[in-house]
Structure 1
C-alpha cells in the first residue's frame, strides 16, 4: 500500500478479489490504493493519480478531508465515476471461483455462477450441500430419500431402511435377491405377452422354441 494512504478496516464494497486471467502487472492501473484490489465501481479524484472503489473512497473521505494519495483537499463528492475504466474493468477476464475451468469477462460472473456445474446446491432430500454436477449421483444413494420397502411397499427413508427391514447383516443380500425376483417376473411377463401375440398370429410357439 502506498505511503500516506489511510488503511480502512471493514471497507464496504471494496475491490474485486478475483482469479484474474491477466497478469497482476497488467492490473496495477486499476488497483484501488485503499484496499489494494481492482477497483469496484471505480471513481477518480481531480488529481487523477489513482482509481478508487466508490465504497473505499466514501469510507475514507468520511473521516478525512484530503485525497489519500495526493493529499489535496477533497470530499466525497469530489470524486467522479470513471466510466471508461469501469467498462475496461468489467471486461477483464477472470477464472471461475468454483474452479470449473471456465474463463469469462467479469461482467458475466453472476450469470455464470447461476449455471456453473461446480456450484454448490442443497439436496432436496437431505439438505446436504453438493456440487451441481454431482447432485444426480448423490440423490441415487441419498440417505434422506424415500424409497419403497421391497417387502411391504411402505415408503421409508433410505437411512432407516435397514431398521425397517428388520436389521441384520443379510439386509443387502436379501435386497439383491428381491431385485432378481422382480427382474425374473418382468421377463416372464414379457414372455407371456410375446406368446399371446404369436398365438394371435396362428403360431403356437416362437421359432427359437421349435426343434
Structure 2
C-alpha cells in the first residue's frame, strides 16, 4: 500500500469504525449484506480474499488487467481504474501508455492519479481472514486485515530456528519445545548445542562426559583427562611404558602393570647392561684423566717457558739500567772536570 493511500486510509478508517453508522457506509456506495450472506471470493495477487459484503456495482472495484480487487487504485484521464502495479507493468519504462480498455493514450506522470475515493471504499469492505481455511473466524474491514494478519494465530509461519518447518502461529510454543534446531544445554559441560546434535556432542565431543578407558576399561574418567590417563606419566595399568633401565640400553616397552615382572625376569640382562655401562664410563674417565694430564704437562711447560722469558727480560732491563747509570755518572764527571 502506497504511503499516501495508507495515510488517507488511517485518517478515514477510524472514523468509520467508531461511528458504526449504516448511513455513512451507504454514502460510500457500500451496502452491507446480512451476516449469513454468501462470501464473495475475489483473488488478490499472492492470496485469495473472502468478502462478506454484498457489493453494489462491485465490478468497479475489479482491475481490468488482473481481474482482482484493485490494490493501490489509480485512474487514467479516460476514467478507467487499474491497480498501480498492473498499469505500470503494462507501460514498462515508457512515459506514455495505451489504456487497456479503450486504447486511449495517456501520459504516465501527468494523466494518471491515485483514486482516493475508490481506495476508501475498498478499504472499508468487510472481508474474512486469509486463514479462514485454517479455522480463523475473524471478519473486519480490509483496512485492518494486515494488522490482524500480523498476529493471527491461524497464520502459517516458518520456524525461526531454521528447521524450515511450517505450522500455525498458535502452535509456535509447542513446536519450539520440540524443534530439532532448538538450543539446549549439555548437562555435562554446559555448552549450548542444537537438540539434534546433542547426542553426537555427548558421544564424541563433550570434554566433561565420563567415559571408559579403551586400554584398561576403567569407567568414570572425563574425556578431557583420557590423554593424561594413558600417557607414560599417567596411571593407566595397560599403557606401554619404557623399562626403567632404558638409559642403560634396555629397549623393551611393557605395560605399566607388567613393569615389575619385567625387571624381575631380566635382572641378569639389566646387570650386564649396567656393568657394560660402568666399563664404558671407566674408559671415558681414564681417557679424560689422560687428557687432563697432558693438559697439565703442557701448562707446566708453557709456564716454565714464560718464567725463563720473564727472567731474560728482567736481566735485559737491569743491564740497560746499569748502562744508563754509567753514562750518567760519566756525564757528571766530565761536567765537573770542565768546571
Q: Hey, what does 1:93 align to over in structure 2?
A: 126
How much has 1:165 moved relative to structure 2?
Answer: 7.3
Q: Hey, what does 1:84 align to over in structure 2?
A: 117
Larger helix percent: 2
Confirm or deny that 1:39 pairs with 2:70.
yes
Give the Cα separation in 1 of the matches to 2:82 and 2:162.
Answer: 46
Q: CA 1:127/1:147 → structure 2, altered by over 3 Å: closer, same or farther?
A: farther
How much has 1:144 moved relative to structure 2?
Answer: 2.9
Q: Deviations over 1:92-148 (max 9, x none)?
A: 223222332322222223222221112304244856443221121112223333155
Q: Give 1:5-24 correspondences, 5 Å limit.
A: 17-21=47-51, 22=53
Is the Cα–Cα contact under 8 Å of residues 126 and 139 in structure 2 kept in the other structure? yes
Q: Deviations over 1:43-81 (max 9, x none)?
A: 222332x32112222333456643221233322121222
Q: Hey, what does 1:107 align to over in structure 2?
A: 143
Q: Secondary structure at the match of 1:19?
A: strand
Give the Cα separation in 2 of the matches to 1:114 and 1:44.
Answer: 30
Count how many residue pairs are aligned between Structure 1 and Structure 2.
149
The structure with more radius of gyration: 2
How much has 1:87 moved relative to structure 2?
Answer: 0.5
Q: CA 1:72/1:113 → structure 2, altered by over 3 Å: closer, same or farther?
A: same
Q: CA RMSD in A?
A: 3.2
Larger RCO, structure (CA 8 Å, separation 6 or more)? 1
Q: Hey, what does 2:86 align to over in structure 1?
A: 56
Gaps of 5+ in 1: 1-14, 167-211
Q: Hey, what does 2:98 align to over in structure 1?
A: 66
How much has 1:84 moved relative to structure 2?
Answer: 0.8
Give the Cα separation in 1 of the matches to 2:106 and 2:50.
Answer: 32
Q: CA 1:154/1:54 → structure 2, altered by over 3 Å: closer, same or farther?
A: closer
Is the Cα–Cα contact under 8 Å of residues 92 and 106 in structure 1 kept in the other structure? yes
Q: Give 1:19-30 correspondences, 5 Å limit.
A: 19-21=49-51, 22=53, 27-30=58-61
Q: CA 1:60/1:161 → structure 2, altered by over 3 Å: closer, same or farther?
A: closer
Confirm or deny that 1:130 pairs with 2:167.
yes
Normalising by structure 1, we get a TM-score of 0.56
Q: Secondary structure at the match of 2:150?
A: helix
Q: Secondary structure at the match of 1:20?
A: strand
Is the Cα–Cα contact under 8 Å of residues 50 and 130 in structure 2 kept in the other structure? no
Give the Cα separation in 2 of the matches to 1:125 and 1:80.
Answer: 43
Q: CA 1:165/1:81 → structure 2, altered by over 3 Å: closer, same or farther?
A: closer
How much has 1:31 moved relative to structure 2?
Answer: 0.9
Gaps of 5+ in 2: 1-43, 204-339
Give the Cα separation in 1 of the matches to 2:97 and 2:199.
Answer: 71
